[in-house]
Amino acid sequence: MNDKEIIRQAMCRILDRPVNSLSDDVALETVGDSLDLIELILELQEELDVSFTQDDFSGKDTVGDLITLFADCVADRQRATESEA
């Protein structure tokens, strides 16, 4: 399973939704209320040990956008770790 699918499954778990119910084209504003989304974003950052600010979410409207944002950050960190090793 690649990073994107792991993140998608984590999102489903945090939001208490069926596995794989969040396809890339689902609008974020339909996956829960504002508190659900705040919890989702905070939890994902905690689990993946990454950190974002509000600006990083500019233009991120869909589940796919969010997954890509997190997956890219994780990949960048892995590359940085590998280059240091």
Partner 1 sequence: MSPERKILRLSELHRTCPRRPHDGAVRAAGAPAVVLPSIKNSVDSPAALNGDAPLDENLRWLLSFYRHSELSGAAFFGRLAAHLKPGSIQMDMTRHFADEAQHARLWTDCLARLGSEPLKLGNAYQDRYLSTAGLPTNLMEVLAITQVFEQRVVRQYARHRRARSTPEPVLETLDRIIDDERWHIRWVRDALTSLEPRFGRNEIEKTLERFKAADREVYGDALAEHGDRVAFLLTSKS
Containing H/E element for 32? none
Nearer to partner 1, 2 or 58 (CB): 58
CB of 15 to partner 1, least distance (A): 9
CB of 38 to partner 1, least distance (A): 5
Nearer to partner 1, 8 or 62 (CB): 62
The helix/strand/coil state of 62 is: strand
Contact 69, 60 (CB under 8 A): yes
The phi-psi region of residue 35 (left if phi > 0; otherwise alpha if psi is between -120 and 50; otherwise beta) is alpha
CB of 82 to partner 1, least distance (A): 25
Q: How many whole angstroms separate alpha carbon 62 and alpha carbon 49? A: 22
- Positions touching partner 1 (CB under 8 A) are 16, 28-30, 32-39, 41-43, 45-46, 51-61
Nearer to partner 1, 51 or 81 (CB): 51
